[in-house]
Amino acid sequence: MALSVDKWVGFGSAMAGFGLLWSRMPEHVHDEARHIISSLVPMLMSYFNPYEQISISEYGEDRFRRNKMFDAVSTYLRSTCLDVASKLKAEVGNKSNDDPLISLDEDQEVLDNFNGARVWWRLCPKSTKNRAVTVITVPVGDSSEQPRCYKLVFHQRHRKLVLDSYLPGVVRLWRELTAKNRQRQLFTNHSRDGKSHYWINVPYNPPATFDMLAMDHSKKVEIMEDLAAFREAKEYHSKVGKAWKRGYLLHGPPGTGKSTMIGAMANFLGYDVYDLDLTSIKDNAELRKLFLDTTDKSIIVIEDIDAIEVELTTKRKGKEAAQENSDKRTVVEVRDKTNDNGKVTLSGLLSFVDGLWSACGSERIFVFTTNHLDRLDPALIRRGRMDRHIEMSYCRFEAFKMLAKSYLGITEHSLFGEIGQLLDEIDTTPADVADNLMLRARGKRGGEIDRLLDEMNGAPADHMLRVKRRREADACLAGLVETLKKAKMKSATPPMDSME
Ligand SMILES: Nc1ncnc2c1ncn2[C@@H]1O[C@H](COP(=O)(O)OP(=O)(O)OP(=O)(O)O)[C@@H](O)[C@H]1O
Ligand SMILES: [Mg+2]
C-alpha cells in the first residue's frame, strides 16, 4: 500500500505540472479549448488522485523553534503504530531506567486506522527539495535544505475527520503521555550577585508517598480526597469566580512529617515543587517576579513561615511587639540592620495567596509550614486564607503501625502492645521512631543475627531470608522499646533546678 499511495500522490504532482504547462500554452491555441481543458485538469486530478497529504515539519518557520506538532506525532506513532513497522530506530532515552527509546525509522511507512478511515504516516528524511503536493504544509524558510517531516496521507473524503478529530486526538494523546512521563522538578530561588532572583531546578523524585506517611488514617484520606478534588476543579473555580489555587498550612513539632507530606503531595498530584526561600528576597517586587515565573501545576512551599513572619509582624506592629519575645527580637535586629529599605511584607505575600495577584496563574497549591502555630500573624491563619490547617502530630500507635509496615514489613509483633502503651505516655516524633526502625540497628545486634545465620547454613535461601528479616525486626523493636523507656524515665525525672 505504501507504494500505491506514493504513486497516487506522485501522479497528482504530474497532473498539477501538466495543468501548469497547459495554462502557459501559446496564444495560437484556441481560447475556448484552453479554457475547457484547464477546467478539466482539477477534476481529472481529483479523479486520479483522491489522496491528500499533510506535511508536518520538524522545525517551525524560523528554523530555531521545534514544531511541537512534530513531537506530538512522534509520541503518538511510538505509542500506537510501532507494531506494524519493520524499520525502527533505538536511542538511549533520558529516563532513569535502561529502556531504549524506540521510534519509527526514516522512510518507514505505517498505516493507522481511525473511525474506519485509513491514514498513512511516513517520516521523510532531510532533503534539499520538497516536491510533494501539500494541502497544508508547515512553511519552511529560504534555505535549500528541508528539515525532516512527517507526511500524512489520507483519502479526500476523510479530510474533515482527519482535521477535526484525528489530528486533535494525536495532540491530546501527546499531552497526556507527556504529562504522565514528565520528570518532576524541584525549584529554589537563587540570586545572581545578590541582585536579581531566579529559579534554579533539579530533577525531583521524592521517595515519600501517602502510603508510607504515618498519621491518622482518616485525616490522610481526607487530604488525598481534597487534593484529588482540587485537581479536577478547574470548571468549579471559574464558575464561582475564584482563582484555581489552594492553601495548606502544615503545623506541628519538628520531625512530624511536614516536609515528607509535601513530597507525598507532589507525588500524588505529579506537580513540580517551588521551594521559596523568603529570607533572601529583597522586596515585594522580587517576590512578585518569582511568583510570576512559577508554572501551573505546581506546589509553592514556604517552610518555617513563623521565622519569616516575625519580621513581617514587626513591620506592622512596630518594635514593641518584637520585644515581647526575645527569640523574635534576635531575628528582627539582624534583618533590620541588613535591610533598610524595601522588604518583603506580609501583605505582599498575601496578595499572591489570595489577593489581586493570586489570579495570575492557575492550578497552584501554596504550602506553608511552621513549628509554632501560635507565633503566626492572625492575618495569615484566618479562615479562608489558608484553605486547610493540617496538624502533624506526635507518633501514636496507629502511626507507629504504618511505620513498622513500611520499614520492617510487619503488621504484628509481640512487642507491639508495650510499644503502643509507651507511645501513649510520651511524645515521640515519627522521625525518632523511624530512626529506630531503620535496619541500621544491625550495627548493634547484627553480630547475633549473623551467628544465627551461620548456624543455619544449608537451610533453603528463602527460609534464611525470612528468619533474617524476623531477627532484624526483633532487634529494631527491642531497640525502640529501650529508647522509649529511657525517654519516659527522663521525662519523669524533675529537672535539677526545680529540685533546688
Ligand atoms: N509522619 C511521618 N511519616 C513517615 N515518616 C516520617 C513522618 N514524620 C517524619 N518522618 C521521617 O522523619 C524524617 C524527618 O521528617 P520531616 O522532615 O518530614 O519532618 P518535618 O516535620 O518537616 O520537620 P521540621 O519541622 O524540622 O522541618 C523524614 O525523612 C521521614 O523519614
Ligand atoms: Mg521540614
Per-residue pLDDT, 191: 78
Which comes out higher in pLDDT, residue 153 or 495? 153
Per-residue pLDDT, 307: 76
Q: Is the CB of 215 under 6 A from ligand 1?
A: yes
pLDDT by residue (tens digit) across 273-292? 999 988 888 888 888 888 88
Beta-carbon neighbour count of residue 373 at 10 Å?
13
CB 305 within 8 A of CB 370: yes
φ, ψ of residue 126 to 5 degrees: the values are -55, 145
* DSSP code, position 156: G
Distance CA 157, CA 173 (A): 24
Distance CA 162, CA 146 (A): 25
Residues 6+ apart with CB under 8 A from 374: none
Which comes out higher in pLDDT, residue 150 or 37? 150
Q: Is the pLDDT of residue 76 over 80?
A: yes
Sort 13 into a burial class: Cβ within 10 Å, 0-12 / 13-18 / 19+.
middle
Residue 323: all three cell numbers together: 520585644
Q: Is the CB of 213 under 6 A from ligand 1?
A: yes
Name the amino acid, one letter, at 415.
L
Residue 422: all three cell numbers together: 509507651
CB 153 within 8 A of CB 9: yes
Per-residue pLDDT, 181: 76
**To the nearest whole percent, how much of the chain has pLDDT over 90?**
36
pLDDT by residue (tens digit) across 237-272? 878 878 888 999 999 999 999 999 999 999 999 899
Q: Is the pLDDT of residue 27 over 70?
A: no
Sign of torsion over alpha carbons 451, 457, 459, 462? positive
Distance CA 82, CA 212 (A): 38
Give ipTM to 2 decimals: 0.98
Ligand 1 closest atom vs CA 371: 25
Picking from 203, 354, 375, the residue whose alpha carbon sits closest to that of residue 273 is 203
For residues 188-212, average pLDDT? 83
Per-residue pLDDT, 376: 86
pLDDT by residue (tens digit) across 132-156? 444 443 344 445 567 889 999 999 9
Q: How far is the CA of 260 from the centre of ligand 1 (A)?
A: 5
Which comes out higher in pLDDT, residue 405 or 319? 405
Picking from 281, 299, 294, 302, the residue whose alpha carbon sits closest to that of residue 197 is 281
pLDDT-wise least confident of 51-55, 204-208, 446-450, 472-476: 446-450
Picking from 185, 370, 188, 210, the residue whose alpha carbon sits closest to that of residue 277 is 188
pLDDT-wise least confident of 278-287, 345-354, 398-407, 440-449: 440-449
Q: Is the CB of 208 under 6 A from ligand 1?
A: no
**Greatest C-alpha distance within the chain:** 127
Residues 6+ apart with CB under 8 A from 96: 205
Q: Is the pLDDT of residue 320 over 50?
A: no
Per-residue pLDDT, 339: 43
> What value does the mean pLDDT of the chain take?
78
Which comes out higher in pLDDT, residue 303 or 382? 303
Sort 56 into a burial class: Cβ within 10 Å, 0-12 / 13-18 / 19+.
buried
Sort 372 into a burial class: Cβ within 10 Å, 0-12 / 13-18 / 19+.
middle
Which comes out higher in pLDDT, residue 294 or 144? 294
Q: Whose CA is nearest to atom 26 of ligand 1?
A: 254
For residues 361-388, average pLDDT? 85
Instruction: For the chain, state the CA radius of gyration.
Output: 33
Q: Is the CB of 258 under 6 A from ligand 1?
A: yes
Distance CA 287, CA 344 (A): 7
Q: Is the pLDDT of residue 177 over 60?
A: yes
Q: Is the pLDDT of residue 375 over 90?
A: no
Q: Which of 59-63, 174-178, 220-224, 318-322 has the highest mean pLDDT?
A: 220-224
Distance CA 25, CA 31 (A): 10
Pocket test for ligand 1, best of 259, 370, 393 (most atoms within 8 A of CB): 259
Per-residue pLDDT, 377: 82
Q: Is the CB of 393 under 6 A from ligand 1?
A: no
Pocket test for ligand 1, best of 260, 277, 436 (most atoms within 8 A of CB): 260
Q: Is the pLDDT of residue 326 over 60?
A: no
Which comes out higher in pLDDT, residue 209 or 440? 209
Q: Is the CB of 395 under 6 A from ligand 1?
A: no
φ, ψ of residue 211 to 5 degrees: the values are -55, -40
Q: Is the CB of 263 under 6 A from ligand 1?
A: no
Q: Is the CB of 371 under 6 A from ligand 1?
A: yes
Phi-psi region of 65 (alpha: psi -120 to 50; beta: other; left: phi over 0): beta
Q: How far is the CA of 251 from the centre of ligand 2 (A)?
A: 10
Per-residue pLDDT, 338: 38
Name the amino acid, one letter, at 27.
E
Closest ligand relative to 252 C-alpha = 1
Closest ligand relative to 263 C-alpha = 1
Q: Is the CB of 434 under 6 A from ligand 1?
A: yes
Per-residue pLDDT, 134: 44
Name the amino acid, one letter, at 417.
G
Quick check: helix, strand or coil at residue 388?
strand
Per-residue pLDDT, 198: 82
Name the amino acid, one letter, at 152.
L
Q: How many residues can be counted in the chain?
A: 500
Q: Give the start-end residues of each E strand in 197-297.
A: 197-203, 245-251, 272-275
Residues with CB in 5 Å of ion ligand 2:
258-259
Global pTM reads: 0.66
Q: Is the pLDDT of residue 324 over 60?
A: no
pLDDT-wise least confident of 20-29, 296-305, 310-319, 439-448: 310-319
Per-residue pLDDT, 287: 87
Which comes out higher in pLDDT, residue 380 or 57? 57
Q: Is the pLDDT of residue 121 over 90?
A: yes
First to last CA, the chain: 99
**To the nearest whole percent, how much of the chain has pLDDT over 70?**
70
* DSSP code, position 165: I
Distance CA 146, CA 129 (A): 6
CB 386 within 8 A of CB 249: yes
Distance CA 371, CA 415 (A): 31
Per-residue pLDDT, 243: 82
* DSSP code, position 386: B
Ligand 1 closest atom vs CA 431: 12
